[in-house]
Structure 1
Amino acid sequence: MAKSTSQFVKLGVFVILGSLLILVMAYLIGSEQNIFRPTFRITAVFSNVNGLQKGNNVRYSGIDVGTVRNIVMEQDTSIRVYMQIQDDMLAHIKDNAVAVVGSDGLVGSMLINILPGSGKGSPVQDGDEIATYSRISTQDMLTTLNVTNENASLLTADLLEVTHSLRNGSGVLAALLHDSVMVQDLREGFHNLKVSTARSEQAIGRLNRIIEEWRLEQSTLSLLTDDPEFTEQIRRVAANLDTSGAEIRELTGRLNDLVSGLQRGEGTLGMMLNDTVMASEIRHGLSHLDSGLVKFDENMEALKHNWLTRGYFKKLEKQQEKESKKQQ
């Protein structure tokens, strides 16, 4: 009998402790799920929730403020998420807030982050819908990374092929690497290109200055053409130029006729130009004339030193000196 009583007491204590533990666990779970505190509900529509489930946390500026109560598929491109938020956050969450599906760390469970909106907004009300923003999911990032890795592999293979070709000396680049003469020519070409570019810039600068001067001259010319006296002078000069041009054309015609006649042998000058015998006689006569002039100079020099004519030449020199002094 005593043994049965102790067993009943132990059983009662175990039941009481188990009940208390269950109550504590229920309270903790209820507190975590916001069951035993006043809450309000807001919704958000996403195109992809990325594995979000009921009971996942809702955070506002990094603080746990509620849980996900329900997820409803409205259309093939829209999923509505119902969030239960603590009532004391009603004054802090504005209607311009943005909901984003994220994860708790790199490999943690999914959750919803509510981010404050820019500018001023009004506090949300129970049942309001807030805006959403879809981030790139981890799966999408892994897919993109996989594609990037494949492209990097292809690029590496191409680079290896190019490097192999360069080492074997095939292709234009390999020729540039191994041909020092071509490299020197390229350097000289680039140097000449730089020089040409510099000269082109200088020429463009000069052309700009010429254009500016031309604009200035054009403005000055417009001012001069507004003067009637200057305009009349320009007209007279143009008329004189026309007259001079006509006279020059007439003189040119006469010269052409004269040259044509000379070429045909007309006149004395034409005969002299075309008759070789006469030209030879003229040359012979000129040579005799040169000899006669030389002998004449010698005779005059002898007369200057002859005692009969020396006085005459001295008087003549004195008279020439006097005249030169008077002119000075």
Structure 2
Amino acid sequence: MRNDNKKSVIVGIFVLIGIIIFITGVLTLGGQQKKFVKSIQLTTVFDDVAGLQAGNNVWFSGVKIGTVRRINFFGDSQVEIVMNVEEKVREYIRKDSKATISSDGLIGNKIIVIYGGTTQAPPVENGDRLMSEMPLDTDKMMETLQENNKNLVTITENLKVLTSKIAQGEGIVGAVMTDSVLADNFKSILSNLEKASVNSNRMLVELNKFSSSLNKEGNLVHDLMNDKELYKNLQTSIQGLQATADNAKVLTENLNEVTYKLNDKSNALGMVLNDEEFASRLKHTLIYADSSTMNLNRGLEALEYTWPFRKGFKRMNKAKENN
């Protein structure tokens, strides 16, 4: 009888301990899942949830504030996330806040992270839908890294070939780096460039001196630039030269016109200068006139010895002698 009572007491103790453990576990899980906390529901929509499951946590500013209640398909190929969020943090989450999917640690479970929001927007209310932002796709990141690795391998191989050719003296760069004659020529070019630079600096100094000397008083250039009276005289002289040039131009035009007329047979001088037949006739006429004049002079001399005119010529000679 005692043994039966003892067994009953032991069984009762184990049952009691089991009940206590069960209740403690329920309370603990309920506390973690926010089952016994007053909450509101918020939703968001993603194109891809990347393995997110119901029961995963919701975080805000590094603090766990709720859990994912359920996941529903939405629209054509999107996914709607329904979240239970503690009602006491509602005032800190604004309607323009965003939700994204992240990981709890490096390889931990997927979580929902709520972030952002401005004070100008009102707090969220039960049933509000937050804007979503797709997280970085690790698969695409790995594909990109793989592609970059391939490109790096190709670049490394090309650099290996290039450096090998340079070391062997192939190409312009290889020739410059390995050909001593070409290196000497390059040094000579640099030396000549340095000399040219020195000469250029010297020329600039000489030009500065020359320009300074031009600005000294008594210099013609300085006087021309600063003496207003000299400038006026020079301007007057230039105007006079311009007038002379204009007159010379007019004279030249007149001479050209006279020359043109002299070359034209339509006038007397032009005919004399240009018409050979007329000139020949004029020459014969002058010859005849000269011959007639000689004959006339002979006739007049003969008249002096004729009887009717002899007395008249004697009187004329006496009058000349008296004068």
Q: Are 1:72 and 2:72 matched, yes or no?
A: yes
| Cross-structure match for 2:143 | 143
| Cross-structure match for 2:286 | none
The amino acid across from 1:92 in the alignment is: Y
Alignment of 1:143-292 (within 5 A): 143-183=143-183, 185=185, 188=189, 241-245=245-249, 247=251
Q: How far apart, in 1, do the equivalents of 2:167 and 2:152 lie? A: 22
The amino acid across from 2:61 in the alignment is: S
1:162–1:118 CA distance, 2 compared to 1 (3 A): farther
The amino acid across from 2:160 in the alignment is: L
The amino acid across from 1:178 in the alignment is: T
| Cross-structure match for 1:46 | 46
Aligned residues: 218
Query: Displacement, 1:179?
Result: 2.2
Q: How far apart, in 2, do the equivalents of 1:240 and 1:59 lie? A: 102
1:34–1:167 CA distance, 2 compared to 1 (3 A): same
Which portions of structure 1, spanning 4 or more consecutive aligned residues, are displaced by more than 4 angstroms?
Answer: 183-187, 189-195, 234-240, 246-252
Q: How far apart, in 2, do the equivalents of 1:135 and 1:141 lie? A: 11
Query: Displacement, 1:181?
Result: 4.0
Whether contact under 8 Å (1:57, 1:67) holds in the other structure is yes
- 42-51 or 176-185: bigger deviation: 176-185
Tell me the SS of whatever aligns to 1:70: strand
Q: Are 1:56 and 2:56 matched, yes or no?
A: yes
The amino acid across from 1:20 in the alignment is: I
- Structure 2 gaps, min length 5: 205-237, 257-323
Tell me the SS of whatever aligns to 1:117: coil
Q: How far apart, in 2, do the equivalents of 1:184 and 1:136 lie? A: 57
1:120–1:168 CA distance, 2 compared to 1 (3 A): same
1:244–1:186 CA distance, 2 compared to 1 (3 A): farther
The amino acid across from 2:73 in the alignment is: M
Tell me the SS of whatever aligns to 2:151: helix
1:118–1:166 CA distance, 2 compared to 1 (3 A): farther
Tell me the SS of whatever aligns to 2:99: strand
Whether contact under 8 Å (2:93, 2:117) holds in the other structure is no
Whether contact under 8 Å (1:61, 1:116) holds in the other structure is no
| Cross-structure match for 1:129 | 129
1:185–1:71 CA distance, 2 compared to 1 (3 A): farther
| Cross-structure match for 1:96 | 96
Q: How far apart, in 2, do the equivalents of 1:176 and 1:250 lie? A: 75
Deviations, residues 260-291 of structure 1 (Å, cap 9, x unaligned): xxxxxxxxxxxxxxxxxxxxxxxxxxxxxxxx
Whether contact under 8 Å (1:96, 1:130) holds in the other structure is yes
Tell me the SS of whatever aligns to 2:53: coil
Tell me the SS of whatever aligns to 1:143: helix
Query: Displacement, 1:66?
Result: 0.5
The amino acid across from 1:117 in the alignment is: G
Q: How far apart, in 1, do the equivalents of 2:192 and 2:93 lie? A: 67
Tell me the SS of whatever aligns to 1:88: helix
| Cross-structure match for 2:12 | 12
The amino acid across from 1:139 in the alignment is: D
Whether contact under 8 Å (2:91, 2:123) holds in the other structure is yes
Q: How far apart, in 2, do the equivalents of 1:240 and 1:121 lie? A: 91
Identity of aligned residues (%): 29
Whether contact under 8 Å (2:169, 2:179) holds in the other structure is no
The amino acid across from 1:13 in the alignment is: I
Deviations, residues 113-143 of structure 1 (Å, cap 9, x unaligned): 1112245210000000111122213222222
- Structure 1 gaps, min length 5: 203-233, 253-328
1:126–1:190 CA distance, 2 compared to 1 (3 A): farther
Whether contact under 8 Å (2:94, 2:118) holds in the other structure is no
Whether contact under 8 Å (2:60, 2:113) holds in the other structure is yes
**CA RMSD between the two structures:** 3.4
Query: Displacement, 1:250?
Result: 8.7
Structure (1 or 2) with the larger CA radius of gyration: 2
- 111-120 or 34-43: bigger deviation: 111-120
